[in-house]
Chains A and B, each alone.
Chain A
Amino acid sequence: MSVNRRAAVVGGLASIAAPHIARAETLTDAAGRAVAIPSRMERVFPAGPPAAITHYTLQPRTLLGWPRANRGAELIYLDPDVATRPELGRLTGRGNTTNLEVLLQLRPDLILDIGSTARTFVETADRVQAQTGIPYALLDGRFEAIPASYRLHGRLVGETARAEELARFCEDIVATCRSRVAGVPRERRPRVYYARGPRGLDTGLGGSINVETIEFMGAVNVAGGTRGGLATVSLEQVFAWDPEVIITIDREFAGAVRRDPSWAGVRAVTEGRVHLSPKLPFGWVDFPPSVNRMPGLIWLGKILYPSLFPEDLVAFTRDFYARFYHRTPNDVQIAAVLEGRE
Chain B
Amino acid sequence: MRHGIGALGGIALGTAMLALSVAIAFSVGRFPVGFADLVRALWAAASGAPSGLSPAAEAVIFNIRGPRVVAAILCGAALAVAGAAFQGLFRNPLVSPDILGASSGAALGAVLGIFLSLGIFGIQALAFGGGLLAVALVYMIGSSIRSGDTVLILVLTGVVVGSLLGAGVGLMKYLADPYNQLPAMTFWLLGSLAGTDRSDLAPLFGPIALGTAVLLALRWRMNVLSLPEEEARALGLATGPIRIAIVAAATLVTSASVAAAGIIGWVGLIVPHMARFLVGPAFGRLMPTAALLGGGYMLAIDTLARSAAQVEIPLGILTAVIGTPVFIWLLASSRKTWT
Chain A residues packing against B (C-beta within 8 Å): 49, 68, 90, 95, 97, 196-199, 201-202, 205, 223, 225-226, 228, 230-237, 239-240, 242, 249, 252, 256, 260-262, 264-265, 286-288
Contacts and interface: CB of A to CB of B under 8 A. Distances in A.
A265 B59 contact: yes
Interface string B161-183: 00000000000001001111011
A239 to B, nearest CB: 5
Contacts, number: 101
A226 B312 CA distance: 12
Contacts of A90: 178
A226 B310 contact: yes
B65 interface: yes
Contacts of B183: 196, 202, 230
Given A205-B311, A225-B310, A265-B59, A234 B30 contact: yes
Contacts of B311: 205, 223, 226, 228, 231-233
B32 interface: yes
A236 B65 contact: yes
Nearest to B309: A226
Contacts of A97: 174
Interface stretch (B91-99, B128-136, B194-202, B216-224): B194-202
**Among all A-B residue pairs, the 4 with the closest Cβ atoms:** A287-B179, A199-B195, A237-B30, A265-B56
Contacts of A68: 177
Given A226-B309, A232-B311, A262 B119 contact: no
Interface residues on B, range: 35 or more
B307 to A, nearest CB: 9
A265 B30 contact: no
Interface of B: 29-32, 55-56, 59-60, 63-65, 68, 117, 119-120, 123, 174, 177-180, 182-184, 187, 192, 194-195, 197-198, 306, 309-312, 314
Nearest to A67: B178
Given A239-B64, A265-B55, A233 B194 contact: yes
Contacts of A196: 180, 183-184
A245 B103 CA distance: 38
Contacts of B184: 196-198, 202
Contacts of B194: 199, 201, 232-235
Given A199-B195, A235-B194, 19 more contacts: A90-B178, A95-B178, A198-B123, A223-B310, A225-B310, A226-B310, A230-B183, A231-B312, A234-B306, A235-B197, A236-B30, A236-B60, A237-B30, A239-B64, A240-B30, A249-B180, A261-B63, A262-B59, A262-B63
